[in-house]
């Protein structure tokens, strides 16, 4: 089992019984956009949790009333294509570490789950999402090139046609819209996220922990012929070499894009 650093321990909290862990992400600033070091800390924390035999569930949520708006674009200003690709590799490692947790996982989504934040929510088994929150993949606006794993997480839930529609358009969905097409599991009132989460975890308390783990493993095994190939495809370029730099600069500084 990986030994977590102090930063990783600051990310993890456990309930009184030690059977439910919460991974708290971000600082509550900048809509919890995560830098490469924060993605790495999330990966290490999730990997360390996988070895806890008494664990029954993991909750992923953002600090400060926002889930995650993706990666911190400040790291990509003037970054080389190789550096951007390295960032994507770090994101993907964290997402797969969440997916590989052997226990049920829940994303508690407030505010925004966009870009890699959307992927983080979809890496969890279930999503509880505020009615007022938004979710989506507006990455074409930045000239980012979608990896197969990102597309696959969406396609497995909503099918290829709807996935292409969302990726092409880059629009954000409300919780109701996302629930209607199956992108998330549950939409909850803005004042009831903690209550709904508590009720869900309470229902699991009386169930066999071994059965919960076996149920997750069985579903994942059935999906593996579709899900696993994308994990093993070599990562290609993550950004458009002609447009990425000015699109990121335009987003960060909110001026008219150069064309």
pLDDT at position 10:
64
Task: Profile the chain (259 residues) by mean pLDDT over runs of 10 residues.
Answer: 50 82 90 92 94 94 94 87 90 96 98 96 98 94 91 97 95 97 97 96 94 97 94 87 86 65
For the domain covering 6-192+228-253, report its CATH number.
3.90.226.10
- Cα–Cα distance between 187 and 175 in angstroms, integer? 5
pLDDT at position 244:
84
pLDDT at position 91:
94
Please list, in sequence order, all residues whose beta carbon lies within 8 angstroms of the beta carbon of residue 28, skipping any fewer than 6 positions away: 62, 63, 64, 65, 66
Strands 105-109 and 20-25: what pairing?
unpaired
Report residue 41: phi and psi, to 5°: -65, -40
Select from 228, 70, 90 the least CA-distant residue to 149: 228
pTM of the model: 0.92
Strands 172-174 and 134-136: what pairing?
antiparallel
pLDDT at position 13:
84
pLDDT at position 9:
47
Select from 11, 6, 47 the least CA-distant residue to 32: 11
Select from 79, 33, 113, 97 the least CA-distant residue to 238: 79
Strands 172-174 and 186-188: what pairing?
unpaired
Is 2 within 8 Å of 48 (Cβ atoms)? Answer: yes
């Amino acid at each position: 089992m990986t030994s977590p650093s102090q930063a990783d321990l600051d990310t993890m909290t456990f309930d009184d019984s030690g059977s439910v862990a919460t991974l708290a992400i971000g600082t509550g600033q900048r809509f919890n956009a995560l830098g490469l070091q924060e993605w790495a800390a999330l990966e290490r924390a999730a990997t360390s949790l996988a070895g806890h035999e008494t664990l029954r569930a993991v909750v992923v949520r953002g600090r400060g009333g926002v889930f995650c708006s993706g990666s911190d674009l400040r790291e990509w200003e003037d970054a080389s294509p190789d550096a951007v690709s390295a960032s994507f590799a770090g994101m993907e490692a964290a997402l797969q570490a969440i997916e590989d947790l052997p226990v049920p996982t829940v994303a508690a989504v407030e505010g925004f789950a966009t870009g890699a934040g959307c992927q983080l929510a979809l890496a969890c088994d279930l999503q509880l999402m505020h009615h007022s929150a938004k979710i989506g993949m507006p990455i074409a606006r930045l000239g980012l090139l979608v990896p197969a794993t990102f597309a696959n997480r969406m396609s497995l839930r909503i099918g290829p046609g709807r996935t292409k529609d969302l990726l092409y358009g880059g629009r954000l969905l409300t919780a109701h819209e996302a629930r209607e097409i199956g992108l998330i599991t549950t939409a909850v009132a803005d004042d009831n996220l903690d209550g709904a989460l508590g009720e869900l975890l309470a229902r699991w308390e009386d169930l066999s922990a071994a059965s919960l783990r076996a149920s997750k493993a069985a579903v994942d095994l059935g999906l593996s012929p579709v899900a696993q190939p994308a994990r093993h495809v070599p990562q290609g370029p993550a950004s458009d070499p002609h447009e990425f730099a000015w699109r990121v600069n335009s987003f960060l500084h909110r001026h008219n894009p150069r064309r």
